[in-house]
Amino acid sequence: MSVPILEMKNITKQFPGVKALDDVSFKVERENIHCLVGENGAGKSTLMKVLSGVHPHGSYEGEIYISGELQEYSNTRDSEKAGIAVIYQELALVPEMTVYENVFLGHEIRRGINININETIKQTVEVLKKVGLDVNPSTKVKYLGIGKQQLVEIAKALSRDAKLLVLDEPTSALNESDSENLLNLLRELKKEGVTSILISHKLQEVISVADKVTVLRDGQSVITLDGHNGEVNEDVLIKHMVGRSIENIYPDREKKPFGDVVFEVRDWSAYDPRRGRNLLEDVNIKLKKGEIVGITGLMGAGRTELALSLFGNPVGYQIKGEMLINGKPVSFSNPHDAIEAGLAYVTEDRKGNGLILIQDVKSNITIANLDRITEGGVINENAEIKDAREYTESLDIKTPSINQKVLYLSGGNQQKVSLAKWLYVQPDVMILDEPTRGIDVGAKYEIFTIMNSLVEQGMSIIMISSELPEILGMADRIYVVSSGRITGELQKEEADQETIMRFATM
Amino acid sequence: MTFFKEIIQLLKKNIRDYGMFIALFVIMAYFAIATDGVFISSRNISNLLNQMGYIAVLAIGMTLVIVIRHIDLSVGFMAGFLGAIAAIALTQWNLPVALVIPLVMIFGIFAGLITATTIARFGIPSFVATLAGWLIYRGALSQATLKTGTIVIPNDSFNALGNGYIPDLPLPNFLPGLHKLTLLLGVVAAVAFVISEISSRKKKMAYDFEVLSKSMFVVKIVFMLLLLGAITYVLAGYNGLSWTAVIVLAVTLIYHFLTTQTYLGRHIYAVGGNPEAAELSGISVNKITYVVFGSMGLLTALSGMLFASRLQSATTTAGTLFELDAIAAAYVGGVSSAGGVGKVTGSLVGAIVMMSLTNGMNLMGIDISTQYMVRGAVLVLAVIFDVATRKRV
Contact B228, B192 (CB under 8 A): no
Residue of A nearest to B283 (CA): A336
pLDDT digit string, tens, across residues A260-287: 999 999 999 999 888 778 889 999 999 9
B282 to chain A nearest CA, in Å?
Answer: 4
pLDDT band at residue A248 under the 50/70/90 scheme:
low
CATH of A291-320+331-504, one of 3.40.50.720, 3.40.50.300, 1.20.1260.10, 1.10.443.10: 3.40.50.300
What value does the mean pLDDT take over residues A413-426? 92
Enumerate residues 6+ apart whose C-beta is below 8 A from B362. Answer: B371
**Interatomic CA distance for residues A126 and B202, integer angstroms:** 82
**Interatomic CA distance for residues A251 and A219, integer angstroms:** 27
Confirm or reject contact between B174 and chain A (CB < 8 A): no
B285 to chain A nearest CA, in Å?
Answer: 11
Phi, psi of A491 (to 5 degrees): -75, 155
A396 CB burial (10 A radius; 0-12, 13-18, 19+)? exposed
Q: Do B204 and A363 touch (CB under 8 A)?
A: no
Strand partners, A287: A263
Give the A:B interface size as CB pairs under 8 Å: 84
Confirm or reject contact between B278 and chain A (CB < 8 A): yes
Q: Sort residue A99 into left (φ over 0), alpha (ψ -120 to 50) or beta.
A: alpha
Tell me the CA distances in angstroms from A115 to A101, A105, B188, one per residue in order. 10, 11, 76
B253 to chain A nearest CA, in Å?
Answer: 15
Which of A312, A355, A378 has its CB closest to that of B277? Answer: A355
Measured between beta carbons, the chain B residues lying within 8 angstroms of A374 are 262-263
Measured between beta carbons, the chain B residues lying within 8 angstroms of A379 are 261-263, 266
Q: Do B277 and A354 touch (CB under 8 A)?
A: yes
A200 to chain B nearest CA, in Å?
Answer: 31
Q: Where are the domains of chain A?
A: 1-83+163-245, 94-160, 291-320+331-504
Q: Do A379 and B266 touch (CB under 8 A)?
A: yes
Contact B314, B306 (CB under 8 A): no
Q: What is the DSSP string of A350-366?
A: IIIII--TTSBHHHHHH
Enumerate residues 6+ apart whose C-beta is below 8 A from B303. Answer: B54, B55, B57, B58, B75, B79, B322
Q: Do B341 and A354 touch (CB under 8 A)?
A: no
Q: In a mutagenesis test of the A interface, which of B199, B266, B280, B337 is the best target, namely the one with the most A β-carbons within 10 Å? A: B280
pLDDT of residue A1: 54
Confirm or reject contact between B266 and chain A (CB < 8 A): yes
B355 to chain A nearest CA, in Å?
Answer: 31
Task: Note whether A1-83+163-245 and A291-320+331-504 share their fold.
Answer: yes
B165 to chain A nearest CA, in Å?
Answer: 33
**Interatomic CA distance for residues B370 and B386, integer angstroms:** 24
User: Can you list the positions of beta strands (E) in A273-375?
Assistant: 277-288, 292-297, 318-325, 328-330, 343-346, 374-375
B281 to chain A nearest CA, in Å?
Answer: 5
Measured between beta carbons, the chain A residues lying within 8 angstroms of B276 are 352-353
ipTM of the complex: 0.81
Cα R_g (chain A), whole angstroms: 25
CA atoms within 13 A on the CB side of A449: 11
Hey, what CATH topology would domain B36-164+242-390 get?
A: ABC transporter involved in vitamin B12 uptake, BtuC (1.10.3470)
Q: Do A314 and B279 touch (CB under 8 A)?
A: yes
pLDDT digit string, tens, across residues A193-228: 899 999 987 788 888 899 999 998 888 888 898 888
DSSP A108: -
Which of A358, A370, A421 has its CB closest to that of B340? Answer: A358
**Interatomic CA distance for residues B393 and B385, integer angstroms:** 15
**Within 10 A of B156 (CB to CB), how many other CB atoms are there?**
11
Contact A474, A446 (CB under 8 A): no
Report the CATH number of the A1-83+163-245 domain. Answer: 3.40.50.300
Which of B261, B280, B284 has its CB closest to that of A347? Answer: B280
A270 to chain B nearest CA, in Å?
Answer: 18
H or E stretch covering A64: strand A61-66
Q: Do A353 and B209 touch (CB under 8 A)?
A: no
- Give residue A151's Cα distance to chain centre: 22
The long-range contacts involving A13-19, CB below 8 angstroms and separated by at least 24 positions, are A13/A43, A13/A46, A13/A47, A13/A50, A13/A55, A13/A59, A13/A60, A13/A61, A14/A60, A17/A440, A19/A219
Enumerate residues 6+ apart whose C-beta is below 8 A from A192. Answer: A130
| First vs last C-alpha separation in chain B | 25
Residue of A nearest to B275 (CA): A353
What value does the mean pLDDT take over residues A288-314? 88
Nearest to A335 by CA among A326, A347, A348: A347
Per-residue pLDDT of chain B (393 residues; tens, 9 = 90+): 577 777 787 777 777 777 788 888 899 999 999 999 899 888 898 889 899 999 999 999 999 999 999 999 999 999 999 999 999 999 999 999 999 999 999 999 999 999 999 999 999 999 999 999 999 999 999 999 988 889 999 988 999 998 889 888 887 777 777 888 888 999 999 999 999 888 888 887 877 777 778 888 888 889 889 988 888 888 888 888 889 999 999 999 999 999 998 999 999 999 999 999 999 999 999 999 999 999 999 999 999 999 999 999 999 999 999 999 999 999 999 898 888 989 999 999 999 999 999 999 999 999 999 999 999 999 999 888 888 877 643
Residue of B nearest to A312 (CA): B280
Residue of B nearest to A348 (CA): B277
The long-range contacts involving B102-106, CB below 8 angstroms and separated by at least 24 positions, are B104/B301, B104/B304, B104/B305, B105/B298, B105/B301, B105/B302
Enumerate residues 6+ apart whose C-beta is below 8 A from B387. Answer: none
Q: Do A347 and B281 touch (CB under 8 A)?
A: no
Q: Do A353 and B341 touch (CB under 8 A)?
A: no
Which of B204, B262, B340 has its CB closest to that of A356? Answer: B340
Confirm or reject contact between B57 and chain A (CB < 8 A): no
Q: Do A335 and B341 touch (CB under 8 A)?
A: no
